[in-house]
């Protein structure tokens, strides 16, 4: 089973990507519930991303349409240098463990390199072992912790 990576096409792909959002957010924010309002905001954000030259969404196409996607954002760091952010990464459960995310990450890094970015960063929830394992295996290291404690 091979996938082809291509640019996101809003009218053609938006509903498939929206169908991926509940699991993407619920995995990374335990207890999160993807309401219709939340999904409608995501639809709007995808529409904006498709028109924004600083953002690129790539989809991995299986035989019957998108099976995963990566959302890339070009930004400037505090010293005005270009850097890349992986804002979202998702692969459908039926396609996991086959290197699809690796392929999307490789394309993303290549895109950032082509824009002269000196680093690429991302946020991942510590309990998301699969994603943390993937990023570590690609050479990502921890640069900051976000900490919290429940208040009674
Ligand atoms: C995380 C996710 C994108 C990985 O997609 P994938 O296509 O299965 O990943 P790949 O097959 O390309 O890479 C698998 C790599 O992940 C790592 N990995 C997979 N399962 C793992 C686990 N249980 N523990 C640790 N590392 C694991 C390994 O490094 C593995 O590489 P290997 O197969 O060569 O050993 C996918 O599981 C997903 O969409 N999860 C839900 C959404 C999500 O959490 N996205 C990330 C948000 S930050």
Q: Which of 101, 108, 123 to mutate to test the pocket of ligand 1 (most atoms within 8 A of CB)?
A: 101
Q: What is the pLDDT of residue 30?
A: 84
> What are the b/e assignments for 82-91, b being 16+ CB within 10 Å?
ebbbbbbbbb
pLDDT in single tens digits along all 152 residues of the chain: 799 999 999 999 999 999 999 999 999 888 899 999 999 999 999 999 999 999 999 999 998 999 999 999 999 999 999 999 999 999 999 999 999 999 999 999 999 999 999 999 999 999 999 999 999 999 999 999 999 899 99
Task: Give the pocket of ligand 1 (CB within 6 Å).
Answer: 23-24, 27-28, 89-91, 96-102, 124, 128-131, 133-134, 137
Residue extents of the structural domains in the chain:
4-137
Quote the pTM value: 0.95
- Write down the architecture of domain 4-137 according to CATH: 3-Layer(aba) Sandwich (3.40)
Q: What angle do CA 16, 29, 67 make, to 5 degrees?
A: 25
């Amino acid at each position: 089973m091979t996938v082809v990576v291509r640019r996101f096409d809003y009218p053609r792909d938006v509903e498939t990507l929206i169908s991926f959002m509940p699991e993407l957010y619920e995995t990374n924010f335990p207890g999160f519930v993807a309401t219709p309002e939340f999904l409608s905001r995501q639809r709007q954000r995808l529409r904006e991303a498709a028109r924004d030259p600083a953002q690129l969404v790539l989809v991995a196409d299986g035989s019957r349409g998108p099976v995963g996607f990566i959302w890339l954002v070009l930004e400037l760091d505090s010293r005005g240098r270009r850097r890349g952010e992986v804002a979202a990464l998702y692969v459908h459960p039926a396609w996991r463990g086959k290197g699809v995310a690796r392929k999307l990450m490789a394309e993303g890094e290549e895109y950032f390199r082509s824009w002269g970015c000196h680093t690429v960063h991302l946020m991942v929830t510590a309990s998301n072992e699969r994603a943390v394992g993937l990023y570590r295996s690609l050479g990502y290291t921890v640069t900051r912790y976000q900490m919290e404690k429940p208040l009674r």
